[in-house]
Amino acid sequence: MEPSARREEAPLTPREIYERLDRYVIGQDAAKRAVAIAAHNHLKRVQARRVRRQSLIKKSNILLIGPTGSGKTHIARNLADILHVPFTTVDATEYTEAGYYGKDVEVMISDLLLKANHSVEDTQRGIIFVDEVDKIARRSQGARNGAGSRDIGGEGVQQGLLKLLEGREVYVPLNVTQAWNKSDFVQVDTRDILFICAGTFSDLHDAGDESSRPLGFGANEMARMRRRISTRQLVEFGMLAEFLGRLPVVVQLELLGEPELMRVLTEPPDSIVREFHELLAMDDLELDFDDAALREVVHYSVSRGLGARGLRSILEHVMADVMFEAPEHRKRQLRVDSDYVRARLKGLDAVQLSV
């Protein structure tokens, strides 16, 4: 009776989705609003299809464009938690055109099936986050009509994804590690699976003539409007027009500045600082971060272009000695100040940060 009761629930409104996203995702207000609207329309489409077979509501797959560390994966993961649906993250660069060595695109449905505990019904209402989608752009730019060398890891993957994005009944392998074994498969309908694709498209962000940079009052707003990436730019970058046509919601994320990154460190319920507080509290240590110390961490991340994703790597390096010695020094208060952080960050440039 519980699944049927879940189906009868009214879908969350865009404002409710936005407010829940806002608790965990700092900044990116325009992106959160667009994602909330797309998710609400998706829920209404799923609900309409449960009542009757045909519905005029089309799939609202999403394309997130933004620099690294701007929160693309974070938005998608929290959206899945809000909607209470299975969620999986896949890397577009792992897939190849069907018939070549590598993963077929149907394997990403197998990943979602695994996360849904092999429940086909739950899988068919889940979310698939396809990261690094800019890396599967057409590489054979001289052969736009398909002639010449085959682009099995770029254009071929885009072609394979078309049927999944549009919505089709496909046969997917039950065992992800043995995708080549076609004797053990299950049929999954992808019409109600929400696809969220994401990429940095860094070449498009960096494009532009330095001499034509706007100056004067309102220059920042003019620059922001000029930085909007158009569909034509994406096609020239190497994305197929029919692929982009199946991603009707295009959301462009901005680079997070120091004020937003400072909030990322401290405000969300699952923030990194709260995590360190909890870890050391289990050793009876009371941890206190100085505001100036956190500003040093944020400044280092911004100056290296690491974004929000680099904050954890930086703090892990800063707190390495503390975490090593913490279990042996119980019942104490520990304060991390800016001098300590600055000293720890001096030799960090020689360390490869995993962002």
**pLDDT, tens digit (0-9, with 9 covering 90-100), for 90-138:** 998 888 776 666 688 888 999 999 999 989 999 998 899 999 999 888 7
Instruction: Tell me if 151 sits within 8 A of 139, measured CB to CB.
Output: yes
CA Rg, the chain, in Å? 23
The CA distance from 133 to 52, in Å, is: 34
- Band of the pLDDT at 69, cuts 50, 70, 90? confident
pLDDT at residue 98 in the model: 67
User: What percent of the chain stands above pLDDT 70?
Assistant: 79
Write the CB contacts of 53 (distance below 8 Å, at least 6 apart in sequence).
none
Decide if pLDDT at 1 tops 50.
no
CA dihedral sign of residues 305, 203, 59, 103: negative
- The identity of residue 152, as a single letter, is I
Q: Which residues of 172-191 are buried (b: 16+ CB within 10 A; e: fewer)?
A: bbeeeeebeeeeebeebebe
3-state secondary structure the chain: CHHHHHHHCCCCCHHHHHHHHHHHCCCCHHHHHHHHHHHHHHHHHHHHHHHCCCCCCCCCCEEEECCCCCCHHHHHHHHHHHHCCCEEEEEHHHECCCCCCCECCCHHHHHHHHHCCCCHHHHCCCEEEEECHHHHCCCCCCCCCCCCCCCCCCHHHHHHHHHHHHCCEEEEECCHHHCCCCCCEEEEECCCCEEEEEECCHHHHHCCCHHHCCCCCCHHHHHHHHCCCCHHHHHHHCCCHHHHHCCCEEEECCCCCHHHHHHHHHCCCCCHHHHHHHHHHCCCEEEEECHHHHHHHHHHHHHCCCCCHHHHHHHHHHCHHHHHHHHHCCCEEEEECHHHHHHHHCCHHHCCCCC
| Inter-CA distances, 106 with 61, 62, 170, 179, Å | 17, 19, 8, 9
Instruction: Tell me if 146 sits within 8 A of 221, measured CB to CB.
Output: no
pLDDT at residue 261 in the model: 92
The CA distance from 263 to 272, in Å, is: 11
pLDDT at residue 349 in the model: 62
Over residues 329-342, mean pLDDT: 84
- Band of the pLDDT at 353, cuts 50, 70, 90? very low
Determine the Cα angle at 340 with ends 339 and 341, to 5°: 90
Give pTM, 2 decimals. Answer: 0.80
What are the tens digits of pLDDT across the range 127-175?
999 999 998 887 655 445 444 455 565 788 888 899 999 888 888 887 7
Mean pLDDT lowest among 108-112, 313-317, 346-350 = 346-350
Token digits for 325? 């010695």
Over residues 213-230, mean pLDDT: 52
pLDDT at residue 227 in the model: 67
Write the CB contacts of 144 (distance below 8 Å, at least 6 apart in sequence).
138
Angle subtended by helix axes 72-83 and 14-24, to nearest 10: 130
| Inter-CA distances, 63 with 22, 73, 351, Å | 20, 12, 33
The widest CA-to-CA distance across the chain, in whole angstroms, is 71
Residue bearing the bigger pLDDT, 339 or 9: 339
What are the tens digits of pLDDT across the range 225-248?
446 788 899 998 889 999 999 999
Token digits for 173? 């392998």
Residue with token string 């500045």: 257
pLDDT at residue 60 in the model: 86
Mean pLDDT of the chain: 81
Over residues 270-286, mean pLDDT: 90
